C-alpha cells in the first residue's frame, strides 16, 4: 500500500491580499514559511520515500522546507497544479462573487480527471512507498473527491500547511 500525505502550501502574499492565484507562481509570506516549518516539525518522525510538489513556486518552496533538512530532492509535476482560473486569475476574489465563470476557467471535469491521473501516477510510480505531495487547495480537494468517490463540495477545505493521509 502506498501512503500519500497530501498537503497544501503555506500562506502566500496573494492569499493575504485575496487574489485569485490559480496557476500564478505565488510567494510564501514569512507566516507561510513558519506554517510549513511547523508542518515539518509535525511530520518530523514520518519517513518519506519521496517528496512531490506542484510545479508552481509556492508549492515547491513549501516542499523544499520539508525536503532539505532530510537531504531529499523535490520531484515536481504539473498534475498537482492549482485549478486554472482563466480570466479570473489575478483578480480580487470578493469582486468575483456572483459572476459567471469565464469560458477559459478549467472545467471541473478536467480538474477531476487530472486529480485521478495524479492518483494513478502515484500508484504506478511509488508503490508501497510513503509520499508527501505538496499541492493547492482546489486540486487537493479534487484529489480527495476522486479518492473518496464524493463530490468536491463534500470535501472540507484544507488550510495552508494542513495535510491529510490517503492510503492508496
Neighbours of 46 (CB within 10 A): 13
Identify whether 9 is a catalytic site residue.
yes
How far is the C-alpha of 12 from the C-alpha of 35, rounded, in Å? 11
**46-86: pLDDT as tens digits:** 999 999 999 999 999 999 999 999 999 999 999 999 999 99
Short-list 29, 4, 10, 154, CA closest to 79? 4
**93-128: pLDDT as tens digits:** 999 999 999 999 999 999 999 999 999 999 999 999
Average pLDDT in the chain: 98
The catalytically annotated residue of 9, 73, 113, 136 is 9
Q: What is the pTM of this model?
A: 0.97
The catalytically annotated residue of 44, 82, 106, 109 is 82
Confidence at residue 18, expressed as pLDDT on a 0 to 100 scale: 97
In whole angstroms, how far apart are CA 146 and each of 95, 97, 99, 111, 125?
A: 30, 27, 27, 10, 19
Fold of the 3-167 domain: Rossmann fold (3.40.50)
Amino acid at each position: 500500500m502506498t501512503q500519500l500525505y497530501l498537503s497544501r502550501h503555506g500562506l502566500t502574499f496573494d492569499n493575504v491580499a485575496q487574489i485569485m492565484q490559480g496557476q500564478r507562481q505565488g510567494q510564501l509570506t514569512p507566516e507561510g514559511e513558519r506554517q510549513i516549518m511547523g508542518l515539518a516539525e509535525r511530520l518530523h518522525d514520518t519517513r518519506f520515500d519521496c517528496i512531490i510538489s506542484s510545479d508552481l513556486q509556492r508549492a515547491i518552496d513549501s516542499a523544499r522546507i520539508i525536503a532539505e533538512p532530510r537531504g531529499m530532492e523535490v520531484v515536481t509535476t504539473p498534475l498537482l497544479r492549482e485549478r486554472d482560473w482563466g480570466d479570473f486569475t489575478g483578480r480580487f476574489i470578493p469582486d468575483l462573487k456572483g459572476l459567471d465563470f469565464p469560458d477559459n476557467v478549467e472545467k471541473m471535469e478536467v480538474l477531476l480527471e487530472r486529480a485521478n491521473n495524479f492518483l494513478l501516477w502515484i500508484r504506478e510510480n511509488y508503490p508501497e512507498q510513503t509520499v508527501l505531495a505538496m499541492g493547492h487547495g482546489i486540486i487537493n480537494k479534487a484529489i480527495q473527491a476522486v479518492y473518496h468517490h464524493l463530490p468536491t463540495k463534500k470535501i472540507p477545505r484544507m488550510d495552508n500547511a494542513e495535510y491529510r493521509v490517503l492510503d492508496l
